[in-house]
């Protein structure tokens, strides 16, 4: 029976006996340190695979999120896609 050791990045790390540590997503390692580094690598891969509109959604203020959620009810786009497509763009104009 696995024993709970600690929580790391929202995942529980468990000891499965011997030199086997893992979490609930089947990331297994020989030590807690190795398990943490494997979870870090997996989180980085997951973050890199996220679409740009979802990454932008993390930066939107809560009151603005509510506005976009209301607007998306009459649209085929999600709230994060609407916010992304209507985000303010900053242009760097160089004056000569």
Q: Supply φ then ψ for residue 85, to 5 degrees.
A: -70, -20
**pLDDT at residue 26 in the model:** 78
Q: pLDDT band for 5, please (50, 70, 90 cuts).
A: very high
Domain count, the chain: 2
* 12 and 44 assigned to the same domain: yes
Does any domain span residue 41?
yes
Give the residue numbers spanning the domain of 73: 52-85
Q: Do residue 65 and residue 42 come from a single domain?
A: no
Mean pLDDT of the chain: 88
Please state the pTM of the whole predicted model. 0.64
Same domain, 40 and 70: no
CA distances from 60 to 63, 69, 80 (A): 8, 12, 9
User: Do 51 and 65 meet the contact criterion of CB atoms below 8 Å apart?
Assistant: no
Higher-pLDDT residue of 21 and 25 is: 21
């Amino acid at each position: 029976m696995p024993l709970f050791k600690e929580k790391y990045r929202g995942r529980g790390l468990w000891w499965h006996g011997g030199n086997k540590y893992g979490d609930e997503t089947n990331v297994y390692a020989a030590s807690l340190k190795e398990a943490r580094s494997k979870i870090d690598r997996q989180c980085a891969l997951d973050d890199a695979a996220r679409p740009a509109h979802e990454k932008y959604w993390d930066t939107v203020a809560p009151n603005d999120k509510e506005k976009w959620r209301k607007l998306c009810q009459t649209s085929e786009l999600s709230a994060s896609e609407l916010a992304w497509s209507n985000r303010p763009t900053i242009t760097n104009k160089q004056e000569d």
